[in-house]
Structure 1
Amino acid sequence: MKSNVGTIDRTLRILLGLALIAGAATGVLGAWGWVGVVPLATGIFRFCPAYLPFGLSTCRVKQAD
Structure 2
Amino acid sequence: MTKEPEALMAVIDRLAERFPHHQRSVIEDVVAEEHGLLDDGPVRDYVPLLVERAAKLRLAHQ
Q: Does TM, scored on the shorter chain, surpass 0.5? A: no
Normalised by the shorter chain, which TM-score bucket? 0.3 to 0.5
TM-score by length of 2: 0.39
Based on CA coordinates, which of the two structures has the bigger radius of gyration?
A: 1
Larger RCO (alpha carbons 8 Å, 6+ apart): 1
